[in-house]
Amino acid sequence: MADFNWRTINIDALDPESAYNFDLSTLTPTVQPTSTQDVQTLNGQIRQLLRGGNAEGALRGGLENVPYGADEQGKVDRICLYLPAFPGPPHDVDNRMSQSNPPNRDVALTATHIQIRGSELCDTLMKYLYKGMGQGSNTAAHPSGNTGAGGRNLTPQATGGFTQASGRNFGGGEGGMSVFLSWHEKLVEMVGPGSIVRVMSDRRTV
């Protein structure tokens, strides 16, 4: 008996009441598990729509079928797909940022923006925005970091140059952080801080 070190017993693991045995996943609301396959299929469809020029349909499709249940890879795929869908800030934002973006896509997306109703959809759009802002690099190795730009390699002359920053880390989308921020500004003007709070407190992450 003396050769058993009692002090190494993990008493919390043995206590049924303790926080160690509290399965936090039981607190999350139930979500339908979506397989990565389904997410890929849907991503493919959205890509088609985008190529076909139907930006509104693509955005709506993405907002209505949210991959809550998919695993991390599926979610990362979805958000990388979305980055090309946010090519430029909405039209009436300060034009300094949008000079490198083709104006016709701006108008299309602003129109889309105005069309989307339903606070659920707006909340989902906000979730995508935050996920995109946190997505610093292509690999899942650096997930969200402290700021949206945390994963990017900031070159010393990156100050005014967000629009010229290479799309390397964003899977082809140009603009990066400034795009997200301008969309965010427009969305908050439309729906208010309530949707930001919902993004933060909702356990179903996109």
Partner 1 sequence: MPAPEVHHLFHAPIADHSFSADRSTLAVARDNNVELYHRSGNAFKLQDELRGHDKTITGVDIAPRSGRIVTCSQDRNAYVWEPSHNGEWKPTLVLLRINRAATGVRWCPNETKFAVGSGARIIAVCYFEEENDWWVSKHIKKPIRSTVTSVAWHPNSVLLAAGSTDGHARVFSSFVKGIDERPEPSVWGERLPFNTVCGEYLNPTAGWVHDVAFSPSGDALAFCSHDSSVTIVYPSGLEQPPQAVISIATQLLPFASLLWSSETELVAAGYDCGVYRLSGDANGWQLTGSLEEKKERPSMPEQREESALNMFRSMDLKGRSGGAAMDDTKLKTVHQNSINTVRSFQESGGQIRKISTGGVDGRVVVWDV
**Residues forming the site for partner 1 (CB under 8 A):** 22, 26-29, 119-120, 123, 191-195, 197-198, 201-204
Of the pair 68, 170, the CB lying nearest partner 1 is at: 68
Of the pair 51, 204, the CB lying nearest partner 1 is at: 204
Q: Taking the complex as a whole, how short is the minimal distance between the CB of residue 30 and partner 1, in angstroms?
A: 9
- Of 169, 161, 142, the C-alpha closest to 80 is 169
At 140 the three-state DSSP class reads coil
- In whole angstroms, what is the distance from residue 40 CA to residue 127 CA? 19
Q: Taking the complex as a whole, how short is the minimal distance between the CB of residue 75 and partner 1, in angstroms?
A: 17
Residues 121 and 64 sit within 8 Å (Cβ to Cβ)? yes
Q: Taking the complex as a whole, how short is the minimal distance between the CB of residue 201 and partner 1, in angstroms?
A: 4
Of the pair 36, 119, the CB lying nearest partner 1 is at: 119
- In whole angstroms, what is the distance from residue 85 CA to residue 98 CA? 15
Token reading at 60:
């709506």
Of the pair 36, 65, the CB lying nearest partner 1 is at: 65
Token reading at 156:
């010393």
Q: Taking the complex as a whole, how short is the minimal distance between the CB of residue 155 and partner 1, in angstroms?
A: 31
Of the pair 107, 197, the CB lying nearest partner 1 is at: 197
Q: Taking the complex as a whole, how short is the minimal distance between the CB of residue 117 and partner 1, in angstroms?
A: 13
| Burial of 67: CB neighbours in 10 Å, binned 0-12, 13-18, 19+ | buried
Q: How far is CA 164 from CA 29, 54, 67, 154, 174, in A?
A: 42, 26, 31, 12, 8
Of the pair 12, 44, the CB lying nearest partner 1 is at: 12
Instruction: Please count the other Cβ atoms lying within 10 Å of the Cβ belonging to residue 196.
Output: 17
179 half-sphere exposure, CB direction, 13 A CA radius: 26
Q: Taking the complex as a whole, how short is the minimal distance between the CB of residue 21 and partner 1, in angstroms?
A: 12
